[in-house]
């Protein structure tokens, strides 16, 4: 057995109506003054929100409501940290109810509020990898993460990704083992009725992460098991949901797939699709799920071809793509490199088909002149075979 390590995971509570237990859970954990961070519409328009607010008050909890919109940024984090310091100075926990952007924001907020005000001077940007001038010590408030979309799996990871867009923009992580949420609550009822476009983009993000985890050069038996089960559940659920087959069961499967993808990300890393996401998300305001959705098909096709051309060195990676195709019900994996190549190519076509309607990069302001620079800035991370810059540029051109 090769040696490997699996990171700590949150306490996981999953199932229908599990959100309703949050006030009692906070109370039993000794929390008395939580900040509750939500998206603009993900929860506040639902009956669950009014019931939750009433239950928080009935439990005797003093709480501050905070709202975040769009991709997480240092500015949005700093604004919420300031509000909490001013309006809830004895805050002792952070609750995040929303998509990956809300949970990432909440992670950074929890890490910011836990610092003395003088140490936080200059804002959260000081602690971002590759941008800041210091390392965060890891102090944080306990975070209770409740995803309302099934995508990034941020409820299971230790990093919060923050960005600024523009020519001098960035998309960087605030990262520490202590930032793994204290508790993750997966309530599929929160995700029923999620808009089709959000379901598609976030679902493809989860599928992308599961696939990249499965073919990662850092994969382990544990991440393999999670990726296989996540692809099995998430693949069928995403197809059904995109076909209009709304159900709690499909939402639950998609939510578990996203959670598994987050655990996998934390322990096996990711590949080129997410390697593109950082420079693209820093340059223009494009949703992370859209980047993953439009790129996962072309990237898979290019990597599968490169693995086939690598001969014996590419056999295992090619076999894994073929197995993923079989798990998703796309193609029979067969035996040998020829069959594996065919299955991998069928997988790439299936992924591209799932992304139809998400748009093109040009819809978000990208131009052909930017692509070589963005390709050069993309990271291969744990992709099973290296692609040169010309190939990486051609992939971006394909989806421009």
- Calpha distance 22→313 (Å, rounded): 50
Residue 47 pLDDT > 90, yes or no? no
Residue 206: HSE in the Cβ half-sphere, 13 Å Cα cutoff: 37
Mean of all residue pLDDT scores within the chain: 93
Q: What is the pLDDT of residue 75?
A: 93
- Calpha distance 74→232 (Å, rounded): 36
Q: Mean pLDDT throughout 377-385? A: 90
Residue 375 pLDDT > 90, yes or no? yes
Q: What is the pLDDT of residues 303-343, one digit of tens each?
A: 999 999 999 999 999 999 999 999 999 999 999 999 999 99
130 vs 178, higher pLDDT: 178
Distances (CA, A) of 3 to 217, 220, 221, 266: 14, 9, 11, 16
Q: What is the pLDDT of residue 211?
A: 97
Mode of pairing for the β-strands spanning 143-147 and 34-39: unpaired
- For residue 144, the tally of other CB atoms under 10 A from its CB is 28
Q: What is the pLDDT of residue 358?
A: 92
167 vs 150, higher pLDDT: 150
Q: What is the pLDDT of residue 282?
A: 86
Do the beta carbons of residue 314 and residue 384 sit within 8 Å?
A: yes
pLDDT band at 38 (very low <50, low <70, confident <90, very high): very high
Secondary structure (DSSP) of 248-263: HHHHHHHHHHHHHHHH
How deeply is 83 buried, as exposed, middle or buried, from its count of CB atoms within 10 A (0-12, 13-18, 19+)?
A: middle
Q: Mean pLDDT throughout 212-222? A: 96
181 vs 379, higher pLDDT: 181
Q: What is the pLDDT of residue 44?
A: 80
Closest CA to 358 of 252, 145, 200, 243: 200
The gap from C-alpha 78 to its chain's centroid, in whole angstroms, comes to 22
Residue 187 pLDDT > 90, yes or no? yes
pLDDT band at 167 (very low <50, low <70, confident <90, very high): confident
Q: What share of the chain is helix, strand, coil (3-state, %, to 5)?
A: 55, 10, 35
Residue 367 pLDDT > 90, yes or no? yes
Give the helix/strand (H/E) hosting 330.
none
- For residue 310, the tally of other CB atoms under 10 A from its CB is 15
Q: What is the pLDDT of residue 16?
A: 95
pLDDT band at 254 (very low <50, low <70, confident <90, very high): very high
- Calpha distance 39→367 (Å, rounded): 30
Cβ contacts of 214 within 8 Å, gap of 6 or more: 223, 224, 227, 228, 231, 264, 320, 323, 324
pLDDT band at 275 (very low <50, low <70, confident <90, very high): very high
Cβ contacts of 310 within 8 Å, gap of 6 or more: 385
Cβ contacts of 308 within 8 Å, gap of 6 or more: 314, 318, 337, 340, 341, 344
Residue 41 pLDDT > 80, yes or no? no
Residue 295 pLDDT > 90, yes or no? yes
Q: What is the pLDDT of residue 69?
A: 85
How deeply is 64 buried, as exposed, middle or buried, from its count of CB atoms within 10 A (0-12, 13-18, 19+)?
A: middle
Q: What is the pLDDT of residue 43?
A: 80
Residue 42 pLDDT > 90, yes or no? no
How deeply is 86 buried, as exposed, middle or buried, from its count of CB atoms within 10 A (0-12, 13-18, 19+)?
A: exposed
Do the beta carbons of residue 363 and residue 389 sit within 8 Å?
A: no
pLDDT band at 285 (very low <50, low <70, confident <90, very high): confident
Q: What is the pLDDT of residue 368?
A: 96
Do the beta carbons of residue 130 and residue 170 sit within 8 Å?
A: yes
Q: What is the pLDDT of residues 48-81, one digit of tens each?
A: 888 999 999 999 999 999 999 888 999 999 999 9
CA angle 56, 59, 61 (to 5 degrees): 65
Residue 169 pLDDT > 90, yes or no? no
Give the helix/strand (H/E) hosting 271.
none
Q: Which residues of 264-299 are buried (b: 16+ CB within 10 A; e: fewer)?
A: bbbbbbbbbbbbbbbbbbbbbebbbbbbbbbbbbbb
Domains of the chain: residue spans and CATH: 11-190 (3.40.50.1970), 196-398 (1.20.1090.10)
Q: What is the pLDDT of residues 220-233, one digit of tens each?
A: 999 999 999 999 99
Closest CA to 396 of 214, 268, 216, 272: 272
Q: What is the pLDDT of residues 15-29, one digit of tens each?
A: 999 999 999 999 999
Helix (H, G, I), strand (E, B) or coil at 97: strand
Closest CA to 104 of 197, 200, 172, 46: 172
Residue with tokens 């159900």: 247
Q: What is the pLDDT of residue 121?
A: 87
Q: What is the pLDDT of residue 224?
A: 97
């Amino acid at each position: 057995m090769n040696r490997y390590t699996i990171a700590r995971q949150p306490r996981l509570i999953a199932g229908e109506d599990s959100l309703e237990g949050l006030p009692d859970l906070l109370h039993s954990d000794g929390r008395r003054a939580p900040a509750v961070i939500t998206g603009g519409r993900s929860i506040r328009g639902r009956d669950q929100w009014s019931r939750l607010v009433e239950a928080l008050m009935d439990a005797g909890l003093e709480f501050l409501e905070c709202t975040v919109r769009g991709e997480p940024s240092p500015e949005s984090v700093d604004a919420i940290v300031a509000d909490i310091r001013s309006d809830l100075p004895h805050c002792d926990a952070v609750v995040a109810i929303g998509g990956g952007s809300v949970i990432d924001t909440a992670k950074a907020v929890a890490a910011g509020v836990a610092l003395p005000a003088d140490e936080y001077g200059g804002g959260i940007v000081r602690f971002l990898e590759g941008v800041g001038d210091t390392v965060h010590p890891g102090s944080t408030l306990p975070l209770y993460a409740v995803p309302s979309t099934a995508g990034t799996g941020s409820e299971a990871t230790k990093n919060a990704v923050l960005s600024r867009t523009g020519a001098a923009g960035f998309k960087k992580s605030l990262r520490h083992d202590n930032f793994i949420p204290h508790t993750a609550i997966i309530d599929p009822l929160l995700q029923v009725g999620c808009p089709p476009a959000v379901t598609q983009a976030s679902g493809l993000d989860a599928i992308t992460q599961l696939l990249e985890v499965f073919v990662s050069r850092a994969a382990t038996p544990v991440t393999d098991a999670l990726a296989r089960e996540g692809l099995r559940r998430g693949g069928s659920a995403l197809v059904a949901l995109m076909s209009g087959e709304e159900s709690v069961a499909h939402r639950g499967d998609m939510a578990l797939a996203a959670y598994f993808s987050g655990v996998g990300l934390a322990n096996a890393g990711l590949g080129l699709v997410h390697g593109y996401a950082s420079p693209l998300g820093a340059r223009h305001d494009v949703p992370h799920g859209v980047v993953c959705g439009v790129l996962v098909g072309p990237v898979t096709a290019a990597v599968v071809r490169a693995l086939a051309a690598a001969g014996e060195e590419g056999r295992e990676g090619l076999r894994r793509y073929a197995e993923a195709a079989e798990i998703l019900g796309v193609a029979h994996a067969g035996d040998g490199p020829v069959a594996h190549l065919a299955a991998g190519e069928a997988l790439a076509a299936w992924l591209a088909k799932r992304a139809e309607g998400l748009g093109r990069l040009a819809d978000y302001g990208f131009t052909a002149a930017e692509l070589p620079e963005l390709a050069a800035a993309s990271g291969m991370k744990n992709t099973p075979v290296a692609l040169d810059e010309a190939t990486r540029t051609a992939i971006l051109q394909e989806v421009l």
